[in-house]
Each structure stands twice: as C-alpha cells, then as structure tokens.
C-alpha cells in the first residue's frame, strides 16, 4: 500500500472529573488526511485545507508526530501528508490530537504496522507537546483506540480502554471563539486541597464504574469537576447557563470539553442528545453568540481508513 485516506475523530478530553486522564472519541466530527509514502526521507505536508495552520513540518503537530515516528522507525523513505481540517483549532475537541494521531496511525498502516498502539500514542503525544506545551494523552488515546480511554499512568505510559454503553450520545456546542490549550493551562492552580481531591477521585471512579456497568444515573452523578471547571469556565461565555439548560433538558451531565471553549453534554439516547442540543443553542441565540453544534454517538473504532 502506497497511499491511505483516513478519518481522524474529534475527541472530548477530561470528561469533567478526569483532567488529563480521561477522553472519548466522537463519530460525527473529525478530520480527513491522505498519507503517501515518498522515496525522500522526511515528512512533507503538501496540503492543508480548512484551517490556517503552519505547513512547515517542525511547526505542524502532524509533522512533529510524524518525525517522532520516523526517528523510531528503520524505514528508509518518508511520507507526504494532506490534511483536510474539519475540526477547528482551539475549539476544545482535540483538533491537534486528530492531526497527530492520523499522521502516525496512517504511517503505521502503510508500513505494515511495525508499532503498537501504545507506541503510536507516544509519537502522537509529541504533537500535543507542540500544541500545548504538555505531552498529554487524553485526546490522542481515544482517537487511536476509540471509545473511552483512561490514562492510568503517564510514567510508565499505561492506557486502559473503557467500554462505552451503546445508548450514550454526546452533544458538543462550540461558541465561536478560540481558546488556546496552552493559555487555558496557564491559569490552572498547580495544587489542590485534599477535600477537592476526594470529591474528584470519587467521581472519576464512579464514572468508570458507570461506563462498565452501563449505569447511566451513576455516569450522570459522576460528571462533576471541582478542580478545573470553576477556573476555566470563566473563559467561556454563557457557560453556567448552557450547563444548567442542558441538565434541565435531561442531559446526564455537562462540562467543558477539553480545554474549552466547547461545552459537552452526555445523554442517554440520540433524541435526548438532540433536545439537549436545542436547549444549549437557545442560550447562545439569546445572548447573541455564534456557535457550531455536533450530536454524536461514541466512536468505538477510533481513527480509520476511508478509501
């Protein structure tokens, strides 16, 4: 195989109680990429449509992740990459992770899968380091594995895929402003109180247990964030109103998607997820903020081939 065309899913990181450790892949939104083997060694970004982003290899997340892959590989050639962005940069649904993940997954397919998924995550994390200053894995892991994933440990890297209850749907609304992950990380406190820690790891355990046992009420009760949301929500216009409208219209829970400004809600069933979306939209219509909205089932496959 010389060329591959792929779909790289958007992802929701953190999922309220799992800052930097939990993430989930979406189905309704994602980028497309074409990756082609070249005789010349190196990573060459030959096309980038949909967003204004750097095409220079060392400044592009797909380029940097690709270089990490190439450095670890004994392959003598290189790769050309075309990127068709559908996920807006700075939207909070894993735009950089989709590009980094797509690059390394596609290259691995073209070379006959020399690397494991865990190794690919390490390469893709280099793209995240470029984008946000920190090599977090909570977007790239679900983009690669699909479904929900838990980063049990960063050192050594230990990723646990978690089953997704079939009726779980996500609604994501993106108020049309850009928040850079690097900026929204700078405002966070580096210390937490024991009291907040207890609440947070109780919810994290509850969410994981709820996903395993398909206990939708437990999932809903666990979607709380006592550490990051109170700080970051200040950057998101109308956050409290959107959240309370989503809950009032039947969402299991609602919070900031990744580093924002997108806001996600999880619901049982697609029709509920759509009515939650209507309620969220209404808030932004009333306060005059443009938005984009996605209602999506959970993508249990992750990045995939589409040609």
Q: In this chain, which residue has its C-beta nearest to ligand HSE?
A: 258
**Exactly one of 128, 149, 224, 229 is catalytic; which is it?**
128
185 is an interface residue for ligand HSE by CB under 6 A: yes
Q: Quote the tokens at residue 113.
A: 């899968």
How are beta strands 291-297 and 42-49 bridged, if at all? unpaired
180 is an interface residue for ligand HSE by CB under 6 A: no
18 is an interface residue for ligand HSE by CB under 6 A: no
Provide the 10 A C-beta neighbour count for residue 184: 22
* Strand residue runs (E) in the chain: 3-13, 22-38, 42-49, 78-84, 148-154, 157-162, 168-175, 253-256, 263-268, 291-297, 304-305
13 is an interface residue for ligand HSE by CB under 6 A: yes
Angle between helical axes of 270-287 and 239-248 (0-180°, round to 10): 150
3-state secondary structure of 204: helix
- 14 or 171: CB nearest ligand HSE: 14
- 14 or 267: CB nearest ligand HSE: 14
**Exactly one of 32, 149, 181, 224 is catalytic; which is it?**
181
Helices within 135-291 (DSSP H only): 140-145, 181-186, 194-213, 216-222, 229-232, 239-248, 270-287
| Phi then psi dihedrals of residue 182, to 5 deg | -60, -40
Q: Mask: binding to ligand HSE, 250-289, rule CB under 6 A, as x and -?
A: --------xx------------------------------
120 is an interface residue for ligand HSE by CB under 6 A: no
Q: Which stretch binds ligand HSE (CB under 6 A): 28-36, 131-139, 206-214, 273-281?
A: 131-139
Q: Mask: binding to ligand HSE, 72-111, rule CB under 6 A, as x and -?
A: ----------------------------------------
**Is 181 annotated as catalytic?**
yes
Integer Cα distance of 307 and 294 in angstroms = 24
Query: How many residues contact ligand HSE, by CB under 6 A?
Result: 11
Q: Is 214 left (phi over 0), alpha (psi -120 to 50) or beta?
A: left
Footprint on this chain of ligand HSE (rule: CB under 6 A): 13-14, 19-20, 136, 138-139, 181, 185, 258-259
């Amino acid at each position: 195989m010389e060329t591959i065309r792929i779909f790289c899913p958007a992802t929701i990181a953190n999922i309220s109680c799992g800052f930097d450790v939990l993430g989930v892949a979406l189905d309704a939104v994602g980028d497309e990429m074409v990756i082609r083997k070249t005789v010349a060694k190196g990573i060459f970004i030959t096309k980038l449509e949909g967003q204004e982003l750097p095409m220079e290899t060392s400044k592009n997340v797909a380029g940097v992740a690709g270089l990490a892959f190439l450095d670890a590989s004994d392959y003598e050639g290189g790769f050309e990459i075309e990127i068709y962005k559908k996920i807006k940069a700075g939207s909070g649904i894993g735009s950089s992770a989709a590009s980094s993940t797509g690059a390394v997954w596609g290259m691995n397919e073209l070379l006959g899968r020399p690397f494991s998924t865990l190794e690919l995550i390490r390469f893709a994390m280099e793209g995240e380091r470029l984008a946000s200053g920190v090599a977090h894995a909570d977007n790239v892991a679900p983009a690669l594995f699909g479904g929900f994933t838990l980063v049990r440990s960063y050192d050594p890297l230990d990723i646990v895929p978690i089953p997704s209850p079939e009726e779980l749907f996500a609604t994501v609304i993106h108020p049309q402003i850009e928040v850079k992950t690097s900026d929204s990380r700078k405002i966070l406190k580096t210390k937490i109180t024991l009291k907040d820690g207890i609440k947070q790891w109780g919810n994290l355990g509850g969410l994981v247990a709820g996903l395993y046992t398909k206990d939708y009420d437990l999932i809903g009760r666990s979607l709380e964030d006592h550490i990051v949301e109170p700080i970051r929500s200040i950057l998101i216009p109308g956050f409290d109103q959107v959240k309370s409208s989503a809950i009032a219209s039947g969402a299991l829970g609602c919070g900031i998607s990744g580093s924002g400004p997108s806001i996600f809600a999880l619901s049982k069933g697609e029709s509920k997820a759509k009515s939650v979306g209507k309620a969220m939209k209404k808030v932004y219509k009333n306060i005059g903020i443009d938005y984009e909205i996605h209602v999506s089932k959970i993508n249990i496959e992750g990045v995939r081939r589409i040609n």
